[in-house]
Amino acid sequence: MSKFSALLGLSVLFAAPTFAADTDAQVRIVNNSSWDIYNFYISSVDTEEWGPDQLGDDAIASGDSYVFRKIPCDAYDVKIVDEDGDECVVSAIALCAGSESWVIEDDALLECQNAE
């Protein structure tokens, strides 16, 4: 189980890829927490800077989900920022040639935020 799923208590479900490139990944974020997710950053583990906010002007409201498609095969650091500005950072998540679903729950999100 990845560090992300271990720290956040995410349930990881693998399904057949639904995109063109054989090495691209797809991740569906299901926000079952009590807080809206305002920012979602990913960065290759080889980079010290965060990439752009993957949500742009969007947010993942409590009870909603969001799908990130065509993520190039790599190992990533991930940072989630909720509506209160609380951050959860998880390092070295391998994404490659698959489809995953990450479910964010209150307890796991709070535990991750307190671990920093």
pLDDT in tens, 58-81: 999 999 999 999 989 999 999 999
DSSP the chain: --HHHHHHT-----B---SSSTT-EEEEEEEESSS-EEEEEEEETT-SS----TTTT--B-TT-EEEEEEEPSEEEEEEEEETT--EEEEEEEEE-SSEEEEEEEHHHHHHHHHT-
Q: How many CB atoms lie within 10 A of CB 17?
A: 15
Q: Which of 55, 111, 56 minimizes the C-alpha distance to 86?
A: 111
In this prediction, residue 7 carries a pLDDT of: 43
Q: How far apart are CA 31 and CA 15, in angstroms?
A: 19
Reported as a single tens digit per residue, the pLDDT across 21-50 is 568 999 999 999 999 999 999 999 999 999
Structure tokens at 34: 């009590």
In this prediction, residue 116 carries a pLDDT of: 62
